[in-house]
Amino acid sequence: MPYDEISDSYLCAKGKKITKDGIRRVKSRTGYVSEKTLYSCKDCAGCMYKAECIKGRNSKSPLEERSKHFEVAKAFQAKRIESLKRIVSEKGQLLRMNRSIQSEGAFGEVKWNMEFRRFLCRGTENVLAESILLGLAHNVNKLHSKIQNGHCGEYLHPLKVA
């Protein structure tokens, strides 16, 4: 649906205006307060797109009596656009490429070779301790493999001089 910044409203497929109803603030368990803008269409009667437009099939009122309602977190959308710009930039593409070269192999090895699928503990500190132990086990396996193959003191790739 196209958004009109001037009137702070959306336009539905049939051309009706979906206007702002208010703002809802929700506080999470961590104390973060998110602000969501509520939008609704006043008249959805007789709309041929109603079945595709209105989500939620578990309402007690029939579809004919319902109208379009949704909420938008504008701060989240702004952060999302900003993040997308960083990701598709040239620097972001280089960082993603290097990340896949550097760390994804280690995660794949831990998941496949060590058959690690989920953490056994609960809680931040316990998960951190378990991940540190997992990292140590991965490094010991790498060291053992280097010793067995006689590759101690060698680098996988030659070091580049700046």
How far is the C-alpha of 67 from the C-alpha of 2, rounded, in Å?
Answer: 18
Instruction: Tell me, yes or no, whether 26 and 63 share the same domain.
Output: yes
Would you say residue 102 lies in a domain? Answer: no
Instruction: Tell me, yes or no, whether 69 and 26 share the same domain.
Output: yes
Range of the domain at 20: 3-82
Instruction: Tell me, yes or no, whether 77 and 113 share the same domain.
Output: no
Query: For 39-90, what is each residue's pLDDT tens digit?
Result: 988 888 778 877 778 877 677 777 777 788 889 999 999 999 999 999 999 8
pTM: 0.55
